[in-house]
Structure 1
Amino acid sequence: MLLDNADSVATWVGELTGSWLDSCIELQVLITSILPTGMEGEVRVEIGPLEAADAVALYLERAHRAWADRTFSESEKPAVEELVVRLDRIPLAIELAAARVRVLPPRALLSRFEERLELLRSATPGRHGSLLGALTLTWELLHSREKTILSRASIFEGGFTYEAATEILDEDASKVEILDLLDGLRSKCLLQLDDSEPPRFQLFESVKKFADRELQRSGLQNETVRRHSAYFLSNSERHVERIEGPDGLDSIRWLKTERENLVAIHLRSIDLDPALAARAGLALAPVMFLEGQPPSETHLVETTLDAARRSGDPNLIIRALANRANMITPHGRIEAALAGVEEALALSRRVGNREREGHLLVHAASLYVRKGEIDPAAPLLELALEIGRAESEPLIEGIALMAQGTRELARLVLDDAERLYDQSLEIFRRHGFVRREGAALTWIAGVWTSQGRFREARRALHEALILSRQMESRTYEGNTLMNLGGVDLAAGRLDEAESYSIKSLAIHREMGNRHGEGIVIGQLGVIALERGDVELADSRLIQAESILKECGVKGFHAALLPFVAVMEARVGRLAEARRSLKEARDYFLSVNDQGSLSAANIVEGTLEVATARILASSQRNEAEALVERARSRLVAASSQESGNVGDLSKAIRLLRQDLDLWAAGSREPGPQAPAMGLRVGSAGAWFEVAGNERVDLRRRSALRRMFDALADKRLSSPGVGLDPNDLFELGWPGVQLHPEVAMKRVYLGIWALRNLGLTNVLLHQTDGYLLDPKLPLLRQNE
């Protein structure tokens, strides 16, 4: 027997059905109701929202009933999907929306979604005639305490925990009573409870809209708003203070989880209580820095500063100025950031806030170094270090030492930089400043890269990467991946460098970090240059140069220019190449960067070879003299004892490429593809490139399987790469290894195949490795 819609008579139905069951032993009864009947032995089955695909299907089917010849194009499907989600995937709401498809198609209804309670109705009277009617009937079935709890719960955005509920929803109820009330509302399908830790309650959107109306009518709204703001601001400020310490991850997670509640406090307080709005915006600052800002929050930095100024509270203004500087620096607005920090510094001195002054001194010095103005940073950092020690503030002392190390690294005084970084790292580890520990490791890796200690640099960066992921910081993860790409590029491991750089680029773009984006695109440009893909290198390096110039980071821009000059020389733009190299040299001389001058000297050799190519047909002797001069630069570079080995090593490899091509009689740079094609034995047992000697792979089973898979891919899908993970599974079937160890095996396999004769044949692109699709390939089955 089925008894439907028993909500309003649930108890009476329970008593009646109980008597039937006593008389009819085999009778089975299915009752639909938002309230339990209370019968002994009752089995409750809670029906949640539809699955997303089923919700879409229901809307389309009901829309077809309402308008038989109405079809939905591919471009409309995202709107349908969004609509059913916004309707909480509840069948009644979806059916009512679909019934109005003629006058309110999905996009139109979404644009008027705040009016959904009035709009979603049908001509059929009764409980199912409108969404408002259904919710009103449900509301009338609640007792007064449940109504109070549900209406007050509408104040939350993004859900709430049991702890928040006990502080905000009912000051007169005990914690156990509130838990019982929440569970009752959940059993009536008015609240959802997820499986997060700790679990969070969430109102369905339509229920939230209805409950908010009732809250406004109840006279409890102002008190509820006050309690909501007080709870979240006091807790968020406590968590912000703990972010730097050993419990930082828990605090970051709390702030991330309550992000929507803090945004709500900020927005509703902007006009009514600027200090409250500023406090909420500053509580969001660490999350915005670590995770970036969604489009809906792009205004928050400026509105927070504006609210702080209107509040008249100097400490809020100081923090808001520093926060704004943090957020706009990655977008290249260094001058504006520095102006804000200097204003905050003056204000902190005026009010005697020594701790904040110490942090701001480091901040200002770091901006000067980023601009390439190294000298102004020194006195600021000395004073910050003095404050940190005098005030017993180890965090200030540590970040001041780290910034001093960065200043010495910019000057390429590498031993001093390493010493200062080690001191900062020791402080961070001793006090549990995990986030700063990762930053110090990244900077130490920069020193080791400049010294050519690539293996040590890689190890430090992998440790920093683990820390960034433990701290769930996308900003630090992106920077660490960028630096890993830089180390591998300096070491000549182009495939690994490209892989890290591509991952880093995605994060920088997600976070809106233009500075990081420019550096990574530059790295990818140098990779393309080394592979001989001059067209791709040209595109990437020009883009990177434009971004770095826009960001005002003189040092990074100057470091890229020598490689821009190589690219310009290789495409025959010698005048532009000379200008680029001169601009770089002028900067290196201005900051006394001898290491980068050494790299620029090697790049001069590539310009000499490029000039020689032009002169070769008419002035052979002059051309040979230029090439000999370029060779002498390589000899001189081999005795280089100090400087930026990372940039120097890249410049040396590029010059060697040009000299090798000259010696081989080629007048054009770039990989020379063998003209006679590639012959491949059965199951990849051997290969011959361009008629050269046969290479036997029969005793090298992993290499043979990898090569055979690459050959199959070349024949079946020319130009499509094989993912490194797939190559590992094909080369070492059934072997289970840590992902990083597995990738090292693949990279070593690729390196071995190239050394066996596939250097210019085995290529790499975004989707993986492949054999040159332009090269004829013949399988020879034996």
Structure 2
Amino acid sequence: MATTTVTSPAARLHDRSPEPRGPALFVGRARELETIHRSFEEGARLISVLGPGGMGKTCLARQFARSTCVLPSGLLDLSSAASLDELLACVADGLGIELPRNAGEGEVCRRLAAALRALGPCLVILDNFERLVRFAADTVERWLAEAPEVSFLVTSREPLGLGEEVRLLLGPWSVEEGVAFFAARARALLAGGELADSDRAIVAQLVERVDGIPLALELAAARLPVLSPAEILDRVRRRFELLRCGRRDVPRRHATLHAALDWSWDLLDEGQRLAFLQCSVFSSRFSLEAAEAVLDLGDGQAPLDVLQSLVEKSLVVRASAPGEPARFTLFETMREYAAAKLADSPARARALARHAGYFAGFADACAADAWGERARASVEALAGELPNLLDVVRRAEGHPDEAARIAVALEPLLYTRGPFGRSLGLLDTVVHALDRVKDPALAAQTLVVRAAIRRVSGRVADAEEDLGRAAALLGARGTPALEARIFHLRGNLARDQLRVGDALELFTAAIARAREARDARTLAHALTDRATVRYDTLVEDPGAAEALAIAVAAKDLRMTATVSVNRALMPWVFGAVAEACAHVERALPTLREVADRELEGVARIVLGSGLACAGDLPRAEAELREAGRIAHTLGRHFFLPMALSFLGLILLWGPGRRGEARAALAEALSLGPAGGPAIIARVGLGTLAADDDDLAQAEAELELGRRELGTYPEPNVAFCVEVLEGLIALARARQRASAGDVTSAGELRRVVSRRVEAWLEPWAGPGRPARLRGDPRLGALGALLTGPIVLRALAEADAGHPRARGDVDPPAPPAGPAPPETPLPAADLTVGPGGRWFRAGAAEEVDLSTRQVFRRLLGALLEHHRAGHEDALTVETLIAAAWPGERISGSAARNRLHNAVATLRSLGLRALVVTDQGGYRLRRGANVVCAPDPDPHDGARQDRSPVAASGGAGAPRAPVTRRR
């Protein structure tokens, strides 16, 4: 919409306003336009639109004049002016005033003020004022006083510093605004071409990569005639090469992103330039204290003053809210520009050294507060500075001692919040530089930290290796505190593997060393952990009470919650589930408060299985699923198989959950080394096989469980194996009864008498937990987890007849005639779209929608089968396909693959997945059919993923209307 025509000299002002440059397109900025309008309506007469180059200040000012402002308006481009004379000449030319020769600056300012006063009510836009700020008091301030009906809208990279000035800082576009702009440019440049939905997702990433800077997006969009959005995104890493413009109607300073920043660079003095360059060593937000430690200006300038000037010039951004401690940052585009200028300067190495030294000292201070009432604040402080701390860790080769100090201090944060994959990658970087760390004790501490994270990631052998290296580094110089820590970690590794005797001995040694070192923190941990392995008594170890007293005296919330969870474990094992759940429920609010995700996951497993024993199956399932979600968030945590195996057993209790139970048990079996969770998972899969009268498979699972039980003889796990033995015996008797054996009823009763009833009697003996005692809410944990299965089998044996196969509730009759279906051809194996399910022959469908390992494994076998290869897929190929990107030792990887293949066979592919020449393949000649995607309008089969997709763009913004 054109601005209102006015008479001279206002008409002259309007006539000299340049036409809008750039695309005839304005996106977003509704809030900013409303702010300008409201400020003028409330009486403001000078508004400065501030922001770095390329942020769209001029476009916003033009749009306000065209669409919102009701006054006559004109724009004066001051980009060519650098002195007061040139400023006055530009304004005079814009107003059509011929200045007298040899007139002084005062006289010229007076004449211009009179000309402005003659305009009456109008808006004057002074564009690109940043190089003229020092003249604002002599010009703009005087004109405000002498032309009271004129308002000024100024665009500048720094404020004018006048009393009447209202400042509007113009930030970057939102992702939605950036995508909308890019789509509009695509339509203009590609003759009506529209961005595909997939391209919009790519453009959203592009907007984030260029910090939402409008000029950067305009220059990127200019590449659309020759590059796709994906190619532009890929090349934006070299943004200063890519973001150039060949258009002739664009000012030179906006022709490239680099030129736009050069314009700002030229406005800085030497101190500001030095500070701006050194700020680039911060890759994220930084505090004023950090800036004062890292910035070395050399000439006595205060970093605070220079930093403030950079904020005012829009090169550094204040990233904290008003009232919060000051934190600053650079847009990534600015940081890259400054880093490139600093790269070849010796000042860079000195700045990085100061950066590493400051943050290592910060980490040391946090580590000193990591125990006691300041423990939570210490972890939160580390989390607040994590990006800067990790920058030092990534530069471990250059600053090994500082990186090791930070790695040690970060342990409570890395351990409790994960993700462990990233944590281990960072620790690996530090460990690779340990040969350059001067202090052997510091190097040993770093290895202990990595061992702790490796342990909770399920990498038992690697954790043991780290502890061995740490002990070797210490040698005879070892300190009792660090030795206590090593003994404690080794005790936890033994406990994880159910080597109860070894764990008890190691925890006892840790307690002795910790007392010698007066290390209250390790002492409390070792005391409470030792209490969890006291299988030799039904009385709680007094160390648990001592640990709680230590934690309470230190006012350490996390340690207090840790003691509560550990105090729940022994009642949980021995069947006092109400007591165990009470301990856990007291601890959970604190664990959430201190954000200890690792311990919260363990606590929810205890609570979930305990609730199941008490009969609250819906809540039990919810707790175990939440534990699994936490484990996934942390990064394949060692307690994930336990959560899944318990979940699988619980799903066996109710009808209609066979497929879900099988999938949970199979995933538990595929995730890690043998142990208690694997044995429990095999019991569940064996139970399913026995229910299906597949006694060969049930016997196979039983044999594997027995074999693993030899290494992990925990009493409750042993009881689960014993239950499976009895269920198989019952199934055999049931089969004979189904075949018409006249002695079947008597044999069923003898089986019940010999096995099932024996489970219901007290289990006598020192240190042995009580048994089921006829009630699924009492007795040992193993009995409780398998109790409903046992009682169901007992009821069937009492009835003396075979149980109907399957546990799926009968379907309700259809409401009307079913639509005709296209039958699939007869097949040995039918696979759903994307491998989300499969069906072997006429068997029931097996859901893999949430089981990525099995989907990838089956997909590799299918692809190999379709290609018609004669040889089998090698073990190495299948491991890489099923667990892409994971690093694991050869024997562990082969064991994991063996378990995964065994699980696929147990799910129905026993006759189809064959072993050949040390590898695996699908049976030659097998007829494999891929089911088509269902009709999108047919809800009969949807992806069974438990995570529902959500999202979508919000409602469109209301258009900005012109106010009259």
TM-score bracket, normalised by the shorter chain, equals 0.7 to 0.9
* Contact residue 278 and residue 351 of structure 2 kept, 8 A: yes
- Structure 2 residue identity aligned to 1:357: E
CA deviation after TM superposition for structure 1 residue 296, in Å: 6.3
Q: Distance in 2 between matches of 1:469 and 1:395?
A: 21
SS at match of 1:299: helix
CA deviation after TM superposition for structure 1 residue 499, in Å: 0.8
CA deviation after TM superposition for structure 1 residue 156, in Å: 0.6
**Cα separation, partners in 2 of 1:142 and 1:400, compared to 1, 3 Å:** same
* Contact residue 420 and residue 457 of structure 2 kept, 8 A: no
Moved more, 311-320 or 466-475: 311-320
Residue 668 of structure 1 pairs with residue 804 of structure 2: yes
Which residues of 2 match residues 122-201 of structure 1 at below 5 A?
122-123=245-246, 124-170=250-296, 177-195=302-320, 197-201=324-328
CA deviation after TM superposition for structure 1 residue 44, in Å: 1.5
Q: Quote the residue 1:48 is aligned against.
A: 171
- Structure 2 residue identity aligned to 1:468: L
* Contact residue 491 and residue 649 of structure 1 kept, 8 A: no
* Contact residue 325 and residue 337 of structure 1 kept, 8 A: yes
Which residues of 2 match residues 562-711 of structure 1 at below 5 A?
562-581=683-702, 584=705, 593-617=714-738, 618-630=740-752, 633-640=755-762, 642-643=769-770, 645-661=780-796, 663=799, 667-668=803-804, 671=807, 673=809
Residue 110 of structure 1 pairs with residue 246 of structure 2: no
CA deviation after TM superposition for structure 1 residue 248, in Å: 1.5
* Contact residue 490 and residue 647 of structure 1 kept, 8 A: no
- Structure 2 residue identity aligned to 1:454: V
* Contact residue 685 and residue 698 of structure 2 kept, 8 A: yes
Deviation per residue, 1:108-149 (Å, 9 max, x gap): 333333421233122334222221111111122223332222
CA deviation after TM superposition for structure 1 residue 306, in Å: 1.5
- Structure 2 residue identity aligned to 1:625: E
- Structure 2 residue identity aligned to 1:224: A
CA deviation after TM superposition for structure 1 residue 494, in Å: 1.7
Moved more, 57-66 or 227-236: 57-66
Aligned pair partner of 1:202 in 308, 329, 333: 329
Moved more, 304-313 or 647-656: 304-313
- Structure 2 residue identity aligned to 1:498: E
Q: Quote the residue 1:750 is aligned against.
A: none
- Structure 1 residue identity aligned to 2:342: L
Q: Quote the residue 2:449 is aligned against.
A: 323
* Contact residue 661 and residue 668 of structure 1 kept, 8 A: no
Which residues of 2 match residues 179-258 of structure 1 at below 5 A?
179-195=304-320, 197-216=324-343, 219-258=346-385
CA deviation after TM superposition for structure 1 residue 107, in Å: 2.9
* Contact residue 534 and residue 571 of structure 1 kept, 8 A: no
Q: Quote the residue 1:387 is aligned against.
A: 513
Moved more, 158-167 or 376-385: 376-385
Q: Quote the residue 2:133 is aligned against.
A: 10
Q: Distance in 2 between matches of 1:627 and 1:187?
A: 89
CA deviation after TM superposition for structure 1 residue 433, in Å: 3.8
Q: Any unmatched runs of 5+ in structure 2? A: 1-123, 764-768, 771-778, 816-943, 949-964
* Contact residue 414 and residue 447 of structure 1 kept, 8 A: no
TM-score by length of 1: 0.79
**Cα separation, partners in 2 of 1:180 and 1:65, compared to 1, 3 Å:** farther
Residue 304 of structure 1 pairs with residue 427 of structure 2: no
* Contact residue 568 and residue 581 of structure 2 kept, 8 A: yes
Residue 289 of structure 1 pairs with residue 424 of structure 2: no
CA deviation after TM superposition for structure 1 residue 308, in Å: 0.9
Moved more, 165-174 or 427-436: 165-174
Q: Quote the residue 2:642 is aligned against.
A: 519
Aligned pair partner of 1:556 in 663, 677, 690: 677
CA deviation after TM superposition for structure 1 residue 419, in Å: 3.8
* Contact residue 271 and residue 297 of structure 2 kept, 8 A: no
* Contact residue 608 and residue 630 of structure 1 kept, 8 A: no
* Contact residue 528 and residue 537 of structure 1 kept, 8 A: yes
Q: Quote the residue 1:435 is aligned against.
A: 558
Q: Quote the residue 1:72 is aligned against.
A: 195
Q: Quote the residue 1:364 is aligned against.
A: 490
The one of the two structures with greater contact order (alpha-carbon pairs below 8 A, sep at least 6) is: 2
- Structure 1 residue identity aligned to 2:418: G
Q: Distance in 1 between matches of 2:601 and 2:623?
A: 9
- Structure 2 residue identity aligned to 1:513: R
Deviation per residue, 1:705-735 (Å, 9 max, x gap): xxxxxxxxxxxxxxxxxxxxxxxxxxxxxxx
CA deviation after TM superposition for structure 1 residue 654, in Å: 1.0
CA deviation after TM superposition for structure 1 residue 631, in Å: 6.0
* Contact residue 734 and residue 802 of structure 2 kept, 8 A: no
Residue 332 of structure 1 pairs with residue 458 of structure 2: yes
TM-score by length of 2: 0.65
Which residues of 2 match residues 417-436 of structure 1 at below 5 A?
417-436=540-559
Residue 460 of structure 1 pairs with residue 583 of structure 2: yes
SS at match of 2:328: strand
Q: Distance in 2 between matches of 1:71 and 1:281?
A: 49
Q: Quote the residue 2:82 is aligned against.
A: none
**Cα separation, partners in 2 of 1:676 and 1:72, compared to 1, 3 Å:** closer
Moved more, 627-636 or 202-211: 627-636
Q: Distance in 2 between matches of 1:633 and 1:2?
A: 94
**Cα separation, partners in 2 of 1:675 and 1:60, compared to 1, 3 Å:** closer
Q: Distance in 1 between matches of 2:645 and 2:223?
A: 54
- Structure 2 residue identity aligned to 1:150: F
Aligned pair partner of 2:659 in 530, 535, 541: 535
* Cα RMSD (Å): 3.1
CA deviation after TM superposition for structure 1 residue 13, in Å: 5.4
Q: Any unmatched runs of 5+ in structure 1? A: 680-763, 769-782
**Cα separation, partners in 2 of 1:64 and 1:331, compared to 1, 3 Å:** same
Q: Quote the residue 1:771 is aligned against.
A: none
Q: Quote the residue 1:484 is aligned against.
A: 607
- Structure 2 residue identity aligned to 1:138: S
Aligned pair partner of 2:393 in 266, 271, 274: 266
* Contact residue 716 and residue 781 of structure 2 kept, 8 A: no
Residue 546 of structure 1 pairs with residue 690 of structure 2: no
Q: Quote the residue 1:352 is aligned against.
A: 478
Deviation per residue, 1:182-229 (Å, 9 max, x gap): 333223322222336544211011111122233346642222112111
* Contact residue 605 and residue 631 of structure 1 kept, 8 A: no
Question: What is the count of residue pairs matched by the alignment?
Answer: 676
Moved more, 288-297 or 647-656: 288-297
Q: Distance in 1 between matches of 2:127 and 2:803?
A: 86
CA deviation after TM superposition for structure 1 residue 624, in Å: 4.1
Moved more, 436-445 or 104-113: 104-113
- Higher fraction of helix: 1
SS at match of 1:397: helix
Moved more, 84-93 or 627-636: 627-636
**Cα separation, partners in 2 of 1:578 and 1:369, compared to 1, 3 Å:** same
Deviation per residue, 1:598-621 (Å, 9 max, x gap): 454444432233223211132142
Q: Distance in 1 between matches of 2:945 and 2:387?
A: 40
SS at match of 1:415: coil
- Structure 2 residue identity aligned to 1:228: H
Deviation per residue, 1:360-390 (Å, 9 max, x gap): 0111122122223333334333322221222
* Contact residue 666 and residue 681 of structure 2 kept, 8 A: no
* Contact residue 311 and residue 317 of structure 2 kept, 8 A: yes
SS at match of 2:465: helix
